[in-house]
Structure 1
């Protein structure tokens, strides 16, 4: 497995892991607490206490708006893009560029607030490193998809029969 194969496996894992994370943890910022099991609420409270996550504990309006986008727009996309990566479908190229650009853009104010906001605490570097992959992976995804017209060209050719050798 080459570098692109490893990178694609990272992307697939990122999207698959993001599904339960969004449902169980992130959506607690917008969905009433009564809809979550006790263990999910305790998990979030553990994260807030352990990592001093002031964004999740205070839920400023701007942050809630980003979590709303994640839950309503990105969550359905996670299923679609995971399927696309499993099938090695070239049609996910443009949606991945849009997704990666959107998420990277939303992560800038989040990371800035974590590092420099008035409520950032002594564990701001720990919190920064928890959130940083959500900037890095989407940026890498944009690069991966923007640099080629068909990210899975070889796989598409094999499925369509174009990659078969002619018999002599």
Structure 2
């Protein structure tokens, strides 16, 4: 029987993240990929509100690579996030492997976005700080998750090595 998610505090935090991450992907990030005829007005309104509120140029004047990052969100983050929720709940042994890959990819892409934001010349300090408060925690979580999953996998592999040599 798996250990309860409530006794695995880091996994509980990751579970909360993925529960929030899925609607963010579906309702903001990948809306441009939806056919216009099937896109509910509230999704366009939500995305417009986000852009008007944060003036996020990644969404209004995206660099060439940004569409690739959105595709990665749609084709990798979304399925992985859907898988991760029940996997975390059942304490699936593959969680560390999958979340290590996810976290490394998320850290790299988020760091790229933050670097781009910081390079915007005609963008005020307050605007950069505002976007930093949105992107920064995502980066910190990804870096933390990367380290956590690496240590979990290392511990597992060391245990396998000890068992082989015993």
C-alpha contact (below 8 Å) 1:90/1:150 kept by paired residues: no
Instruction: Kindly state the Cα deviation for residue 139 of structure 1 after the two structures are TM-superposed.
Output: 1.3
TM-score, normalisation: structure 1: 0.80
TM-score, normalisation: structure 2: 0.81
- Determine whether 1:95 maps to 2:98: yes
C-alpha contact (below 8 Å) 2:27/2:46 kept by paired residues: no
In the alignment, what sits opposite 1:63?
66
Shift of the 136–34 alpha-carbon distance from structure 1 to 2, 3 Å rule, reads farther
Alignment partners' CA distance in 2, 1:65 and 1:5: 34
Alignment partner for residue 138 of structure 1, among 142, 150, 155?
Answer: 142
RMSD: 2.4
Please list every run of at least 4 consecutive aligned residues from structure 1 whose deviation after the TM superposition is greater than 4 angstroms: none
In the alignment, what sits opposite 2:163?
none
Instruction: Kindly state the Cα deviation for residue 118 of structure 1 after the two structures are TM-superposed.
Output: 3.7
More helix by share: 2
Aligned residue-pair number:
151
Q: Over residues 104-135 of structure 1, what are the superposed CA-to-partner deviations in whole Å (9 max), with x where a residue is unaligned?
A: 01111100111222453441110111111221
Task: Report the secondary structure of 1:88's partner residue.
Answer: coil
Instruction: Kindly state the Cα deviation for residue 6 of structure 1 after the two structures are TM-superposed.
Output: 2.5
C-alpha contact (below 8 Å) 2:100/2:145 kept by paired residues: yes
Alignment partners' CA distance in 2, 1:5 and 1:108: 28
Gaps of 5+ in 1: 153-168
In the alignment, what sits opposite 2:159?
none
Gaps of 5+ in 2: 157-166
C-alpha contact (below 8 Å) 2:114/2:132 kept by paired residues: yes
